[in-house]
Amino acid sequence: MAHLGARIAHVGAGEVHVVLPRRPEVTQQHGYFHAGATSSIADSAGGYAAFTLFPEGSSVLTVEFKINLLAPGEGEHLEAVGTVLKPGRTLTICRLEVYGVTATQRTLVAAGQQTLIQIQSRPEP
């Protein structure tokens, strides 16, 4: 996430927001945020949202995720919101939403769902 320039903007139990400022390195040929950058911050927001509910000493890995790109990624920055829909002992399901944000508008540009697995034997570094 550091390479993309993304940062965590909000952490709550079962919900995390990740913000990605507009930079040429994360846009595509038409100037929109690239789908890869959009997907990356969505995946991280969901992963960290699940991680907030995991026990100490555990880790998180994405098993699968699906993302629909609903509108061109425009704005001063993107904000990905990961929300736990169903926590589990092994698998956790999260909703993923990504918004294009300007000073006056917040537009949903991507939505998806993710499955994560809790790993007991590999704590986060």
4-27 pLDDT, tens per residue? 999 999 999 999 999 999 999 999
Domains and CATH numbers, the chain: 7-119 (3.10.129.10)
CA atoms within 13 A on the CB side of 116: 35
Q: In whole angstroms, what is the distance from residue 74 CA to residue 66 CA?
A: 21
Q: HEC profile for 46-107?
A: HHHHHHCCCCCCCEEEEEEEEEEECCCCCCCEEEEEEEEEECCCCEEEEEEEEEEECCCCEE
Is the CB of residue 79 less than 8 Å from the CB of residue 99?
yes
Handedness of CA 27, 3, 61, 86 (dihedral sign): negative
pLDDT tens, residue by residue, 48-102 = 999 999 998 899 999 999 999 999 999 999 999 999 999 999 999 999 999 999 9
Write down the pLDDT at residue 121: 67
Write down the pLDDT at residue 104: 96
